[in-house]
């Protein structure tokens, strides 16, 4: 209904709902865009004038030719589950195609009062089969970026196809404004509408995978495309539903009743402004949207006719014959020579015996696969013709995986030699335990308790053992993002620790040193923990360059930390106490950074003071004992400490005394060096760290 002509009144304010799905952010984003770029308001006005004229023009209004829109999905991910499957994408396309053609299964649920204006929009969507350069494509791009956790216009700078040719949809983990999704009305996107398209959370995209079959989750895309094609919310141009003052504004559409906008519920007979509300409308915030009206159809189809020379995302180019051929979406288009670029991954680079591992086809440069053939060394099954198969492994080891795809242009295949590491679950270290990196931890045999695992096969630097920088008596591991030749996370996985006999509170400690190289350094460091062999990971440390650095100044040349440049990090392991198999992953990604060093990882440490902890784990030994005055004294320090050593005879007279700083790690000295030529007898060596102490008896024969 058109009460007042407040067509695209923009009222700010993000609504917040304590629900799993999030509301739409369109009006907030549009207001921000217009503040930054006032000319966008004029574009919107031109669009309004145009749609008003179409609404009066019965010839344009009655045009019912199907409009086909080429679509590209940009998956913005950090690896793992947010790198959503092709299946979830196809499911999302299925839903919007049903909703825009009134082919959805719940059409009869719309109440009788609105059945007569329930429209088939006669608009269809198809994933592009050619990219803007004319390469074969599935209409899906995949970009690794942390911005997916804080997304908005920023992700559009990373990837975007010509908006005059494609409807761009960026699927992200989380939107910075808190919205579930947003789009811009025609003409109003930043960059003179060049940023047109939809940003949407993966959890509100389709009905499977990271999303769910709930009405709001599975149909958020339908709602956002409504905005992309010029529809405001049913109550008017604001983001805030269910307000009294919404009765005074309007959406500018003839047949949508005046409404305040539903709370997120479904009362089909709601009457909020003196007449029956169209609660089933996709552009309401109800939990049961399932229809567009004839008036909304006219608006959306007029948006598809709208396009002017200044308009960088002119919607009227999308469905032209030329564009449908250029994007490979026209039925006449035949792909003949597409050869797949093969790529694939599993959710986790390691697994345990008997556990199911899901493999995901991430290949590109083709639209239709004629067949898939996977080969799984050591796997059950050992081969599969499914696109995304599930496999389990019996025996520990490192196995290869091969994928071959036959497409219209022929066959291509790729092997990942170290595709999956099946861990030996019997190799478990009892916590508390420490890792001082005396020697290279990245053994290739993987048959040692102490072995670490590096999964990535990225070009350029990865985690390496070194003896140049260490806060213990051996070496440490280090990595430098300035030496990365391709982007992506570098991960190092610890051995498996048994926390069965450890009680809360309990921690992991490690020492680290890091320096910026220059102002361009941009690193992100995380520590993640799993207790189910990599099926789920919990992020316990997340630091960017500025809060990771342990030195104030930039270090341009190779960074070798001195003692004062090391810091200690404490990570609570309380959620994992009692678990028999706990592992940590040390993950860094970024560029232009200097070395990050990690040393002295103390895993599953109970809540003791550092002194108590060190004394308890000192493992002070004298051997042989008894001896002839020549014996080896050994101890192991978890962290750097000052240790006082006092050798006394049987009546307590001090014979030798020292007080020295020792690094973490294993230490050895000779009794002969403390005091040569001891007479036969009984002696005691007392060792003290702060106020904690211990004693060892020495017998000289
Ligand atoms: Zn909306």
Q: Please tell me the least confidently modeled range out of 278-287, 396-405, 593-602, 655-664.
A: 655-664
Helix/strand/coil (H, E, C) string of 411-445? EEEEEEEEEEEEECCCCCEECCEEECCCCCCCCCC
The DSSP annotation for 239-271 comes to: S--S-GGGGG---S-TTSPP-----SS--TT--
CA of 282 to the centre of ligand 1 (A): 9
CA of 26 to the centre of ligand 1 (A): 5
How far CA 91 is from CA of 208, 329, 370, 416, 630, in Å, comes to 7, 18, 20, 29, 76
Could you confirm whether 612 is annotated as catalytic?
no
Asked if the model's pLDDT at residue 191 lies above 50, the reply is: yes
Distance CA 628, CA 630 (A): 6
Give yes or no for a contact between 305 and 230, defined as CB atoms under 8 angstroms apart: no
Pairing of strands 641-649, 522-530: unpaired
**Between 7 and 602, the higher pLDDT residue:** 602
Q: At what angle do helices 294-305 and 215-228 cross, to 10 degrees?
A: 50
CA of 238 to the centre of ligand 1 (A): 9
Q: Is the peptide bond before 626 cis (omega within 30 degrees of 0)?
A: yes
CA of 221 to the centre of ligand 1 (A): 10
pLDDT of the residue at 497 = 92
Q: Is the dihedral of CA 456, 460, 465, 471 positive or negative?
A: negative
CA of 224 to the centre of ligand 1 (A): 6
Burial class (CB in 10 A: 0-12, 13-18, 19+), 403: buried
How many Å is the Cα radius of gyration of the chain?
32
CA of 309 to the centre of ligand 1 (A): 27
Sheet containing 383-384: give its strands across.
Answer: 350-352, 410-423, 397-407, 369-376, 383-384
CA of 132 to the centre of ligand 1 (A): 29
Contact residues for 526 (Cβ-Cβ < 8 A; gap 6+) = 539, 541, 542, 543, 585, 587, 588
pLDDT of the residue at 7 = 38
pLDDT of the residue at 6 = 37
Structure tokens belonging to residue 53: 């004229």
For the segment 185-206, the average pLDDT, to the nearest whole number, is: 95
Structure tokens belonging to residue 696: 């060892």
Q: What is the pLDDT of residues 288-325, one digit of tens each?
A: 999 999 999 999 999 999 888 888 999 999 999 999 99
Picking from 389, 43, 50, the residue whose alpha carbon sits closest to that of residue 195 is 43
For the segment 114-120, the average pLDDT, to the nearest whole number, is: 97
CA of 116 to the centre of ligand 1 (A): 24
Distance CA 627, CA 674 (A): 15
Confidence of residue 661 (pLDDT cuts 50, 70, 90): confident
Q: Please name the helix (run of DSSP H) or strand (run of DSSP E) that holds residue 396, with its range, or none.
A: none
Percent of the chain exceeding pLDDT 90 equals 60
Confidence of residue 364 (pLDDT cuts 50, 70, 90): confident
Picking from 370, 377, 376, the residue whose alpha carbon sits closest to that of residue 411 is 370
CA of 8 to the centre of ligand 1 (A): 13
For the segment 383-394, the average pLDDT, to the nearest whole number, is: 95
Q: What is the mean pLDDT of the chain?
A: 89
pLDDT of the residue at 367 = 83
Residue 442 sits at φ, ψ, to 5 deg, of -100, 65
Asked if the model's pLDDT at residue 3 lies above 50, the reply is: no
Distance CA 143, CA 82 (A): 11
**Between 237 and 531, the higher pLDDT residue:** 531
Structure tokens belonging to residue 38: 């006032």
Contact residues for 398 (Cβ-Cβ < 8 A; gap 6+) = 418, 420, 421, 422, 446
CA of 592 to the centre of ligand 1 (A): 40
Number of residues in the chain: 701
For the segment 668-690, the average pLDDT, to the nearest whole number, is: 88
Contact residues for 267 (Cβ-Cβ < 8 A; gap 6+) = 279, 286
Distance CA 514, CA 32 (A): 38
For the segment 272-285, the average pLDDT, to the nearest whole number, is: 95
pLDDT of the residue at 446 = 53
Identify any residues that bridge with 357 across adjacent strands, giving them in sequence order: 391
CA of 293 to the centre of ligand 1 (A): 16
Q: ∠ at Cα 537 (534, 540), nearest 5°?
A: 140
pLDDT of the residue at 127 = 97
Please report where in the chains the tokens 């015996």 appear, as a residue. Answer: 353
CA of 196 to the centre of ligand 1 (A): 15
**Identified catalytic residue from 224, 387, 456, 641:** 224
Q: How many CB atoms lie within 10 A of CB 47?
A: 24
How far CA 643 is from CA of 302, 367, 444, 631, 663, in Å, comes to 82, 68, 37, 19, 10
Q: What is the pLDDT of residues 445-502, one digit of tens each?
A: 555 556 788 876 788 998 999 988 888 878 899 999 999 998 888 999 998 999 988 8
Give yes or no for a contact between 258 and 247, defined as CB atoms under 8 angstroms apart: yes
Q: How many CB atoms lie within 10 A of CB 332?
A: 7
Distance CA 451, CA 446 (A): 6
Confidence of residue 20 (pLDDT cuts 50, 70, 90): low
Confidence of residue 149 (pLDDT cuts 50, 70, 90): very high
pLDDT of the residue at 450 = 64
Confidence of residue 14 (pLDDT cuts 50, 70, 90): very low
Q: What is the pLDDT of residues 64-109, one digit of tens each?
A: 899 999 999 999 998 778 999 999 999 999 999 999 999 999 999 9
CA of 425 to the centre of ligand 1 (A): 50
């Amino acid at each position: 209904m058109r009460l007042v002509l407040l067509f695209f009144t923009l009222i700010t304010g993000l609504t917040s709902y304590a629900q799993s799905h999030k509301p739409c952010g369109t009006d907030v984003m549009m207001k921000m865009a217009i503040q930054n770029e006032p000319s966008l308001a004029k574009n919107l006005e031109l669009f309004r004038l145009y749609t008003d004229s179409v609404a009066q023009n019965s010839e344009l209004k009655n045009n019912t030719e199907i409009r086909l829109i080429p679509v590209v999905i940009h998956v913005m991910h950090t690896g793992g589950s947010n790198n959503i499957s092709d299946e979830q994408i196809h499911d999302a396309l299925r839903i919007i195609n049903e909703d825009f053609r009134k082919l959805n299964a719940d059409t009869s649920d719309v109440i009788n009062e609105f059945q007569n204006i329930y429209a088939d929009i006669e608009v269809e969507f198809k994933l592009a089969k050619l990219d803007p350069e004319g390469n074969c494509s599935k209409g899906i791009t995949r970009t690794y970026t942390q911005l997916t956790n804080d997304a908005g216009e920023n992700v559009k700078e990373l990837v975007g196809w010509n908006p005059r040719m494609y409807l761009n949809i960026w699927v992200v983990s989380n939107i910075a404004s808190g919205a579930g999704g947003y789009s811009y009305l025609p003409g109003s996107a930043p960059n003179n509408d060049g940023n047109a398209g939809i940003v949407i959370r993966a959890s509100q995209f389709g009905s499977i995978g990271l999303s769910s079959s709930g009405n709001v989750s599975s149909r958020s895309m339908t709602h956002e495309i409504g905005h992309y094609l010029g529809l405001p919310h049913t109550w008017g141009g604001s983001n805030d539903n269910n307000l009294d003052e919404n009765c005074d504004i309007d959406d500018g559409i003839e047949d949508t009743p005046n409404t305040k906008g539903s709370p997120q519920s479904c009362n089909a007979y709601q009457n909020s402004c003196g007449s029956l509300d169209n609660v089933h409308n996709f552009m309401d915030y109800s939990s049961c949207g399932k229809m567009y009206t004839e008036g909304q159809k006219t608006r959306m189809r007029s948006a598809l006719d709208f396009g002017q020379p200044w308009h960088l995302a002119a919607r009227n180019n999308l469905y032209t014959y030329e564009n449908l051929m250029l994007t490979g979406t026209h039925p006449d288009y035949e792909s003949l020579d597409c050869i797949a670029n093969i790529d694939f991954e599993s959710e986790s680079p390691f697994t345990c015996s008997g556990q199911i591992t899901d493999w995901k086809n991430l290949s590109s440069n083709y639209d239709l696969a004629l067949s898939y053939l996977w080969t799984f060394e050591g796997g059950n099954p050992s081969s599969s013709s499914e696109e995304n198969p599930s496999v389990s492994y019996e025996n520990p080891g490192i196995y290869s995986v091969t994928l071959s795809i036959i497409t219209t242009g022929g066959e291509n295949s790729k092997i990942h030699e170290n595709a999956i590491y099946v861990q030996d679950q019997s190799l478990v270290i009892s916590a508390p335990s420490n890792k001082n990196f005396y020697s290279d931890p990245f053994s290739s045999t993987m048959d040692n308790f102490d072995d670490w695992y590096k999964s990535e096969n990225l070009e350029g630097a990865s985690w390496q053992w070194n003896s140049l920088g260490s806060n213990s008596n051996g070496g440490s591991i280090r990595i430098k993002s300035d030496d990365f030749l391709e982007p992506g996370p570098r991960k190092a996985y610890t051995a498996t620790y048994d926390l069965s006999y450890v009680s809360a509170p309990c921690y992991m400690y490690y020492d680290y040193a890091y320096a910026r190289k220059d102002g361009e350094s941009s690193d992100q460091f995380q520590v993640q923990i799993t207790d189910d062999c990599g099926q789920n990971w919990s992020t316990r440390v997340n630091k960017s360059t500025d809060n990771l650095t342990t030195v104030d100044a930039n270090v341009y040349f190779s960074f070798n930390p001195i003692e004062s440049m090391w810091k200690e990090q404490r990570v609570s392991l309380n959620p994992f106490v009692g678990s028999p198999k706990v592992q940590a992953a040390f993950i860094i990604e970024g560029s232009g950074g200097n070395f990050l060093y990690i040393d002295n990882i103390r895993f599953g440490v109970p809540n003791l003071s550092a002194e108590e902890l060190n004394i308890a784990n000192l493992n002070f030994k004298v051997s042989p004992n008894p001896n002839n005055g020549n014996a080896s004294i050994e101890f192991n320090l978890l962290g750097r400490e000052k240790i006082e050593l006092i050798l006394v005879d049987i009546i307590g007279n001090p014979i030798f005394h020292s007080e020295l700083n020792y690094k973490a790690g294993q230490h050895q000295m000779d009794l002969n060096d403390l005091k040569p030529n001891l007479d036969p007898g009984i002696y005691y060596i007392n060792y003290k760290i702060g106020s904690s102490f211990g004693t060892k008896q020495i017998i000289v024969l």
